[in-house]
Amino acid sequence: SLELTQPSAVSVSPGQTARITCSGDALLNLYTYWYQQKPGQAPILLIYKDVQRPSGIPERFSGSTSGTTATLTISGVRAEDEADYYCQLADSSGIYVFGTGTTVSVL
Amino acid sequence: QVQLEESGGGVVQPGTSLRLSCAASGFILRDYAIHWVRQAPGKGLEWVTVISYDGSNKKYAEFVKGRFTISRDNTNNTVDLLLTSLRLEDTALYYCVRRPQAYGLDVWGRGTMVTVSS
């Protein structure tokens, strides 16, 4: 099934590393995409095809996958990284699904 | 400047219809698939539908159940989303989003709010 599960919240101190997981059986064979959404703003694309970073996205954002779990890692977290993060996939028929979303709090 | 702008949102009663429109500027719309993604107040992102670059292929989320129809006019650089049989649970901010081939959803509009209320 096309369900993606994320932790509802992650807390991290400035300068530390935040890891956000996205789990789902479909991730075994499909690419994962990651988006960041700050309050009152539209989402922005952070990672595409599991590990690729669009131009303009800081290097501290990285993606990885292992089996049925994808992970977004934010290294050296900054206060400005406080936001909601969503994973997303598209199946072979063109149906998209978003993960449940994770709120990252920078303490 | 590359951007998408949604319009057509409003407050409507259950069972009625609404047509949303997405206008593109700064790029050639016909080169891209266009998606609609919605977000209910205080909730997460929910994918709604996609139309291929030439309009020949359309996909819908299961919850749509034949109530929504996506279309495009590449001559006028617009994509429409017709919402019918609206339900209370369709209340959301509806985003129009661009997707280049083999890429993610890279350009998002600011959204247009649809409120279904009796």
Whether pLDDT at B102 is above 90: no
pLDDT digits (tens, 9 = 90+) for A40-66: 999 999 999 999 999 999 999 999 999
Q: What is the mean pLDDT of chain B?
A: 96
Q: Does the distance separating the beta carbons of A97 and B104 come in below 8 Å?
A: no
Shortest distance between the Cα of B5 and any Cα of chain A, in A, equals 12
Tokens 């749509």, residue located? B64
The tens digit of pLDDT for each residue in B15-33 reads 999 999 999 999 999 999 9
- CA A9 from chain centre, in angstroms, equals 12
Residue of A84, A93, A98 lying closest to B59 (CB–CB): A93
CA atoms within a 13 Å half-sphere pointing along the CA-CB vector of B94: 31
| Chain A residues near residue B110 by CB distance under 8 angstroms | 42
Rounded distance, CA A83 to CA A105, Å?
7
Is the pLDDT reported for residue A84 higher than 80?
A: yes
pLDDT surpasses 90 at A67: yes
Nearest to A96 by CA among B41, B17, B33: B33
Residue A1 has pLDDT above 80, yes or no: no
Interface membership of B104 toward A (CB under 8 Å): yes
Q: What is the mean pLDDT of residues A84-96?
A: 94
Cα of B15 to nearest chain A Cα, Å? 26
The answer to whether residues B52 and B71 touch, using CB atoms and an 8 Å cutoff, is no
Q: Which of B45, B50, B109 sits opposite A98 (nearest CB)?
A: B45
For the segment B74-96, the average pLDDT, to the nearest whole number, is 97
Share of chain A above pLDDT 90, in %: 92
Mean pLDDT of B77-100: 97
Q: Is B45 on the interface with A (CB under 8 A)?
A: yes
Q: Which residues in chain B touch residue A96, judged by CB atoms under 8 angstroms apart?
A: 35, 47, 50, 59, 61
Mean pLDDT, rounded, of chain A: 96
Assess whether pLDDT exceeds 90 at residue A88.
yes
Residues A49-65, buried b or exposed e (16+ Cβ, 10 A)?
Answer: ebeebeeebeeebbbeb
Please indicate whether, in this complex, the C-beta atoms of A43 and B102 are within 8 angstroms of each other.
no
Task: Give pLDDT, residue B101.
Answer: 86
Using the Cβ of B54 and the Cβ atoms of chain A, whether some distance falls under 8 Å is answered with: no
Average pLDDT rounded to a whole number, residues B93-110: 95
Average pLDDT over residues B29-58: 96
Number of H helices, E strands in chain A: 0, 9
Residues in chain A with CB shorter than 8 Å from the CB of B61 are 95-96
**Stretch A1-15: mean pLDDT, rounded?**
94
Mean predicted confidence (pLDDT) in B34-50: 98
